[in-house]
């Protein structure tokens, strides 16, 4: 065996050798503190080269440690996502087991079928035998099953069967989606859908309205005067009961004791029952007043008549100067309305045990915004659509908007203007760190999940219609879907004409001078 290598220390001591467990000889040189001090005091030739090599080695080690840390964070995020999917799948399986069989088992049995064809017999939900037919209907789906015969039904020719199928809504549960069954129909296996987005919705009173709620823009003297005049007219000429906010009733009683008949509420519990008492809601203000009105109702919303008293309005088509004529027509009916869809948002914290352990849901009429707040780092958001990965957002933030909010923050961030009755969710990035990141429009039935990954540099902030700001830490998630309670707003003309009028007057959309016609004609 070769002799061990020796390394002489500055003090002249020989190195101590040791034999490793694998049979190789390794050496090390222990130094005392005195020897180290003497070594530092001696001039070393080529120290610059050694320092450069040492710094490069440290840089390499730092890069390796950074990659290890990033890999660990990515692994933790992936493990958390798999855990979330596992718990969600387990919960769904338990619900399916508790729910039992939702479709009735068909009761038709064929007695005159040959035994050699019985093994190849396809289960039929509609069988014609002896002049009688038995059908199978699904409680949660739509079935279409027919038997088509070639030629004479009494002949022995081969039967041509059209494949049977069933359509079933399965996105958010049977309770919230049962109302969709009226837009899909079938006949002999042909699927047709109703063009509901292109049809104007009309509201006709079956009985005359009895109670009206008036909500006003605060801190405006002109609005106070108009509110008092409108209440007098509704009481004297229409014999209606009027509800107002507590602060408005205080102002009315300070003006005159005549307004003692006006009613209000004292706590939040009465607000939750307000939709059971009020037939019609009148707003005096701008779009902000309409947003405030929508936020008051956590469930169903009565029809809203918005009067324009603000600086810019896309949801306020009525003018206050003609409020008597407008209210006469609306109270008489029928009236055209626009169903403005809302988003219901849930914040799920990292410490939550399952998907159902969420904070109180928040309803938004315009949009929910996730931004970086005061942080100087870009937002890092992982976005999923019905548990399918969409993209990772790196930029200033993300906007999830309704079609009613398409002319608000989403439009300023580069999103498209969408008709308010189009059922969809706008997916608009805010100043993304990628030129190819373009906005999306997703269907109404999807569920969007925006999660802050564990390796995010900072937290994010979520705001709902510009208020109720919440901090989202790494591991937290925001889940958004379409709410089952839209906001019905009355139209001055119809939904389309009001929308086009608002973008023409409010945004001056495509306003330019007409090209002159006296230019020389082309040969």
Beta strand 141-144 with 165-168 is antiparallel
Judge if 66 and 121 occupy the same domain. Answer: no
* Domain assignment of residue 420, yes or no: yes
Residue 322 DSSP label: G
Its domain, for residue 468, covers 343-485
Judge if 350 and 422 occupy the same domain. Answer: yes
Q: Quick check: 240 and 211 in contact, CB under 8 A? A: yes
Judge if 330 and 391 occupy the same domain. Answer: no
Is 287 an active-site residue?
Answer: yes
**Structural domains of the chain, count:** 3
Tokens of 99: 């729910």
Residue 101 has φ and ψ, to the nearest 5°, of: -80, 125
Can you give the CATH number for the domain in which 248 is found? Answer: 3.40.50.10330
Alpha helix ranges (H) inside 25-128: 33-41, 47-99, 115-118
Distance in angstroms (rounded) separating the CA atoms of residues 511 and 506? 11
* Domain assignment of residue 111, yes or no: no
User: What does each of the 523 residues of the chain score in pLDDT, given as a tens digit?
Assistant: 444 444 444 444 444 444 444 444 444 444 555 554 555 555 555 567 778 888 888 888 888 887 887 777 777 777 777 777 777 777 777 777 776 555 444 444 444 444 444 444 433 333 333 444 434 434 444 444 433 344 444 444 444 555 655 555 555 444 444 444 444 555 555 666 555 544 688 888 988 899 999 999 998 899 999 999 999 999 999 999 999 999 999 999 999 999 999 999 988 889 988 998 999 999 999 999 999 999 999 989 999 999 998 777 889 999 988 899 999 999 998 889 999 999 999 999 988 877 777 788 999 999 999 999 988 899 999 999 998 999 999 999 999 999 999 999 999 999 999 999 898 999 999 999 999 999 999 999 999 999 999 999 989 999 999 999 999 999 999 999 999 999 999 999 899 999 999 999 888 899 888 877 765 666 5
Q: Which residues contact 121 (CB under 8 A, 6 or more apart)?
A: 110, 113
311-347 burial code (b ≥16 CB/10 A, e <16)? eebbbbbbebeebeebbeebbeeebbbbbbbbbbbbb
Judge if 40 and 63 occupy the same domain. Answer: yes
pTM: 0.66
Judge if 433 and 318 occupy the same domain. Answer: no
* Domain assignment of residue 112, yes or no: no
Residue 103 DSSP label: B
- Choose among 300, 267, 256, 259: nearest CA to 281: 300
Catalytic, out of 49, 150, 287, 386: 287
* Domain assignment of residue 29, yes or no: yes
Judge if 29 and 172 occupy the same domain. Answer: no
């Amino acid at each position: 065996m070769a002799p061990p290598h020796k390394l002489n220390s500055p003090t002249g001591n020989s190195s101590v050798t040791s034999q490793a467990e694998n049979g190789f000889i390794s050496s090390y040189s222990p130094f005392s503190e005195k020897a180290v001090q003497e070594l530092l005091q001696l001039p070393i030739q080529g120290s610059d080269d050694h320092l450069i090599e040492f710094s490069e080695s440290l840089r390499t080690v730092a890069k390796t440690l950074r990659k290890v840390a990033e890999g660990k964070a990515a692994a933790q995020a992936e493990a958390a996502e798999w855990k979330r999917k596992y718990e969600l799948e387990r919960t769904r399986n338990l619900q399916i087991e508790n729910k039992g069989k939702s479709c009735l088992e068909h009761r038709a049995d064929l007695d005159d079928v040959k035994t050699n064809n019985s093994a190849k017999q396809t289960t039929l939900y509609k069988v014609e035998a002896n002049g009688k037919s038995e059908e199978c209907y699904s409680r949660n789906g739509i079935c279409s099953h027919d038997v088509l015969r070639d030629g004479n039904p009494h002949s022995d020719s081969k039967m041509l069967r059209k494949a049977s199928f069933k359509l079933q809504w399965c996105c958010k549960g049977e309770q919230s989606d049962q109302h969709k069954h009226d837009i899909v129909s079938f006949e002999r296996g042909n699927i047709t859908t109703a063009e509901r987005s292109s049809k104007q919705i009309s509201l006709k009173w079956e009985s005359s309205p009895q109670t009206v709620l008036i909500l006003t823009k605060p801190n405006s003297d002109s609005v106070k005067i108009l509110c008092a005049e409108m209440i007098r007219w509704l009481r004297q000429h229409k014999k209606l009961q009027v509800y107002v906010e507590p602060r408005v009733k205080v102002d009315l009683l300070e003006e005159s004791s005549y307004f003692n008949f006006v009613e209000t509420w004292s706590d939040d519990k009465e607000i939750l029952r307000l939709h059971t008492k009020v037939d019609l809601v009148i707003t005096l203000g701008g779009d902000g007043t309409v947003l405030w009105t929508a936020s008051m109702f956590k469930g169903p919303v009565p029809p809203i008549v918005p009067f324009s008293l603000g600086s810019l309005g896309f949801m306020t088509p009525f003018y206050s100067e003609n409020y008597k004529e407008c209210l006469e027509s609306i109270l008489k009916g029928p009236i055209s309305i626009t169903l403005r869809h809302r988003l219901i948002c849930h914040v799920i914290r990292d410490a939550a045990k399952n998907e159902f352990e969420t904070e109180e849901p928040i309803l938004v009429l315009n949009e929910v915004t996730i931004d970086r707040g005061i942080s100087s780092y870009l937002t890092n958001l992982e976005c999923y659509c019905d548990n399918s990965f969409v993209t990772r957002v790196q930029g200033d933030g993300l906007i999830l908007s309704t079609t009613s909010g398409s002319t608000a923050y989403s439009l300023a961030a580069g999103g498209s203007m969408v008709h308010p009755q189009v059922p969809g969710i706008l997916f608009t990035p805010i100043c993304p760190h990628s030129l190819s990141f373009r906005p999306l429009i997703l269907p109404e039935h999807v569920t969007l999940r925006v999660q802050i990954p564990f390796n995010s540099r900072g937290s994010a902030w979520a705001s709902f219609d510009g208020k109720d700001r919440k901090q989202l830490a790494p591991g937290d998630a925001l889940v958004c879907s379409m709410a089952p309670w839209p906001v019905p707003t009355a139209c001055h003309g119809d939904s389309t004409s009001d929308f086009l009028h608002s973008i023409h007057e409010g945004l001056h959309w495509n306003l330019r001078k007409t090209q002159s016609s006296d230019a020389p004609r082309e040969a």
